Structure 1
Amino acid sequence: MAYNATSMPYPPHPYYPLEVQIAGYLANEWSVPTLLAIFSAGCASIFFITYLIVSQVRQNLPTSELLTVLWFVLSGCIHFFFEGYYVYNFKSMGGLQDLFGQLWKEYALSDSRYLTLDPFVLCMETITAVFWGPLSLTVAHMITTEHPLRHPFQIIVSLGQLYGDVLYFATSMFDHFIADKQYSRPEAYYFWCYYVLMNAFWIVFPILLIISSVRTCGRAFAALNKMGRALNTNGALKKEL
């Protein structure tokens, strides 16, 4: 279908497919560098505040554990506040002009489903905001306080993030290759930087964390089994004596 602005009751927009309907669309008021700078500054602030708090609570935390805490705190904030914002405002995203609204409209240049009431995106983001947001912050707290359930929860949260991201990519690729629907603008920047890179973090890091936690749980159970066998052996020797 050719794009014809005069035949559509919706304002023209830069999103693909060009004929997609975005009710109440308003172009962003802030420039892209401004939006990206504010987003980067927000992430840096989250890292800095988290570092200060963790340094006070547990001063001898290993670097690898500190980085893991930073990851889960950032993930929790993005899931709960940023993605939760989308879930709360999904019906009116096209016309929003606050910071998060403009950030979502900028990201949507790589995936217009966020502005078109797509049911999968809404359901996936709802689960992410409601469950993985608070649980990510919970895992960060568990790491800091050395909670014994840290690794089981780390596996659950990381697997949930991985599963959601895989489905996110898979549904988009299905529409692209099978249904011939293109949600990203043709410029490589939007596809590779926004769509691929910004979401790849929730593929790579969860895989690494799942592997780490599974290995830790395996070593813990192996040590427990070894201790149990030793106790049984000692008990049998005492009975013989």
Structure 2
Amino acid sequence: MSAQMLNSTLSHPPHPYYPIEAELIGYLANEWSVLSLISAFAAGWAGILGFTLLVLSFVAPKLGKADRVAILWFILTGCIHFFFEGYFVVNHTRMAPAQDFFGQLWKEYSLSDSRYLTSDPFVLCMETITAILWGPLSFALVYLIAAEHPLRHPVQLIVSVGQIYGDVLYYATSMFDHYFHGLSYCRPEAYYFWGYYFFMNFIWIVIPAYYMTKSICVMSRAVKFANEAAGQRKSK
């Protein structure tokens, strides 16, 4: 092997991601197994959600079941947006060799979308907006729901629409490259596409769509009631 080929191999080591010609400088394979990563991730969420329920039992014991579920959703989504996706935003230039827990999780997910290892402009901008806006606003929603604050539904509508919009663009940009440029960022195994890429992101379309619809209905009824009350006052 020539010195030039050796230097190229050292600076761009072989990797399992698609496209296979993607340059992942300093790439290191994960040290944790897939099962260990997923189990630790799930255990962390179970602990966070369990602690949230415990706190709610003290600070808002009369809160309804539907509102408790909403709080759990926005706690989960806020943590993912702010901490997990925020980690990517801060560390996007060093994802390929990362060996900390979040870094290895991102490398596992990136088998379905290697753009997260190459500082792709769209993914970076989308995740930055998500971490800066939808993360903190999700945490704010937890307070608004627990306090039964009138701003709950306007903020819930904004966050939900933002999540859906970001997800649609995320799918669209990837599919555009796939069908128009013949460029795939996902490994060929079906479970990476359907399990990681499709299902794990589709959650942030289905659930936000439910809360978006709920907020629209509540706000619509409120406006209708206000208009009827105003009309009654005018008729007197």
Please state if 1:55 is matched with 2:78: no
Following the alignment from structure 2 to structure 1, what is the Cα–Cα distance between the partners of residues 54 and 34? 30
State the one-letter code of the partner of 2:59: V
What CA deviation, in whole Å up to 9, does each residue of 1:20-52 have, x standing for no partner?
100110000000000000111111112111111
Q: Which residue of 1 aligns with 2:164?
A: 162
Q: Which residue of 2 aligns with 1:94?
A: 96
Structure 1 residue 233, shift from structure 2 partner: 2.5
Please state if 1:73 is matched with 2:83: no
Q: TM (normalized to structure 2)?
A: 0.95
Q: Which residue of 2 aligns with 1:13?
A: 15
Runs of 5+ unmatched residues, structure 1: 235-241
Following the alignment from structure 1 to structure 2, what is the Cα–Cα distance between the partners of residues 229 and 187? 62
Q: Which residue of 1 aligns with 2:187?
A: 185
Following the alignment from structure 1 to structure 2, what is the Cα–Cα distance between the partners of residues 89 and 75? 20
Which of 190, 194, 197 is residue 195 of structure 1 equivalent to? 197
Following the alignment from structure 2 to structure 1, what is the Cα–Cα distance between the partners of residues 222 and 38? 43
Runs of 5+ unmatched residues, structure 2: none
Following the alignment from structure 2 to structure 1, what is the Cα–Cα distance between the partners of residues 172 and 52? 33
Which of 81, 84, 88 is residue 82 of structure 1 equivalent to? 84
Q: Which residue of 2 aligns with 1:229?
A: 231
Q: Which residue of 2 aligns with 1:139?
A: 141
Structure 1 residue 232, shift from structure 2 partner: 2.3
Please state if 1:110 is matched with 2:112: yes
State the one-letter code of the partner of 2:111: L
**What fraction of aligned residue pairs are identical, expressed as a percent?**
56
Task: Give the match's secondary structure for 1:16.
Answer: coil
Structure 1 residue 170, shift from structure 2 partner: 0.3
What CA deviation, in whole Å up to 9, does each residue of 1:39-73 have, x standing for no partner?
11111112111111122111121111111111111
Aligned residue pair count = 230
Provide the alpha-carbon RMSD of the alignment.
Answer: 1.2
Q: TM (normalized to structure 1)?
A: 0.93
Structure 1 residue 227, shift from structure 2 partner: 1.5
Task: Give the match's secondary structure for 1:61.
Answer: coil
Following the alignment from structure 1 to structure 2, what is the Cα–Cα distance between the partners of residues 207 and 165? 12
Q: Which residue of 2 aligns with 1:174?
A: 176
Q: Which residue of 2 aligns with 1:238?
A: none
Structure 1 residue 142, shift from structure 2 partner: 0.3
Structure 1 residue 78, shift from structure 2 partner: 0.4
Task: Give the match's secondary structure for 1:196.
Answer: helix
Q: Which residue of 2 aligns with 1:46?
A: 48
State the one-letter code of the partner of 1:185: R
Q: Which residue of 1 aligns with 2:206?
A: 204
Q: Which residue of 2 aligns with 1:24?
A: 26
Following the alignment from structure 1 to structure 2, what is the Cα–Cα distance between the partners of residues 162 and 46? 24
